[in-house]
Amino acid sequence: MKLALDSSQNSGSIALWDSGRVVYSAYFSISVTHSETLMPQVDAAMRVCGRSPSDLKAVLLTIGPGSFTGLRIGLATAKGIAFGLQIPLQTFSTLQLAALERYHCGRNILVVMDARMKEVYAALYDEQLRELRPPQVCVPEDVCGWGLEDCYLTGSCASLVRPLLEQRNISVIPVPETPLQAAGLFTLAEMFPQPEIYDFQSLAELEPEYLRESTAQVRKRQT
């Protein structure tokens, strides 16, 4: 059995995989904090499926970019489970997970998410979800020069970026925004296999992929 976690946004999602299929999937809005919500959701999933944490053989996680607090809590939770059970932890880009809904649809996929401070997290993938432009932080105008004609446009900042592209006569196909689903990580794990080994040192050194300093760090540096 495998556990998938996403806490990269102002919402969360978990899923369980067993015997070749998804057996549990849940999306939850964060009304308090990830730290108060994530583990209870994992416990609930185990109870519903009649299983225990000792049944887990791997953990899958979105490593970023996204909410700084959410990423830290998600990684701490995943590390705790992996350390405690001595099982592998596999990580995937939040932006690649967001692009998954347009996998194999015949066009490139632009993902743009809110990075705050008038910036976006952005990445461009082909229809096989291979990186054409790796995840990065930039101002929305920067993505207009990425060769985006007739690509899909998705993510929380799609409505912000689309008018900028239209002003430059760049045609894109908007995709309705939907909450990220951790169950998609099982698909990414099959598409982009990683070694399924427990490595204490690599796990201990693993950090979220923030891509930028936090707002507090930027403000502190500017004062």
Domains annotated on the chain, with CATH: 2-94+180-222 (3.30.420.40), 95-174 (3.30.420.40)
Taking only the tens place, the pLDDT of each residue in 63-107 is 999 999 889 999 999 999 999 999 999 999 999 999 999 999 999
pLDDT at 220: 46
SS3 for 70-107 is HHHHHHHHHHHHHHHHCCCEEEEEHHHHHHHHHCCCCC
Where residue 106 falls (left for φ over 0; alpha for ψ -120 to 50; beta otherwise) is left
Write down the pTM of the prediction: 0.91
Per the CB < 8 A criterion, the answer to whether 63 and 91 are in contact is yes
pLDDT at 221: 45
Considering only CA atoms, which of 23, 32, 22, 26 is closest in space to residue 12?
26
Report which of residues 84 and 10 the model is more confident about.
84
The pLDDT of 191-208, averaged and rounded, is 95
The pLDDT of 160-184, averaged and rounded, is 94
Taking only the tens place, the pLDDT of each residue in 139-161 is 999 999 998 989 999 999 999 99
Distances in Å between the Cα of 187 and the Cα atoms of 60, 132, 176 are 11, 20, 21
d(CA 16, CA 49): 9
CA-CA-CA-CA torsion for 102, 104, 106, 110, nearest 10 degrees? Answer: 40
Q: Look over the chain and give the mean of its residue pLDDT values, rounded to a whole number.
A: 91
26-40, 101-115, 140-154, 192-206: least confident range: 26-40
Q: Residues 53-78, buried b or exposed e (16+ Cβ, 10 A)?
A: eeebebbbbbbbbbbbebbbbbbebb
pLDDT at 168: 94
Instruction: Give the model's confidence band at 110: pLDDT under 50 very low, under 70 low, under 90 confident, else very high.
Output: very high
Helix axes 68-85, 34-49, angle to 10 degrees: 40
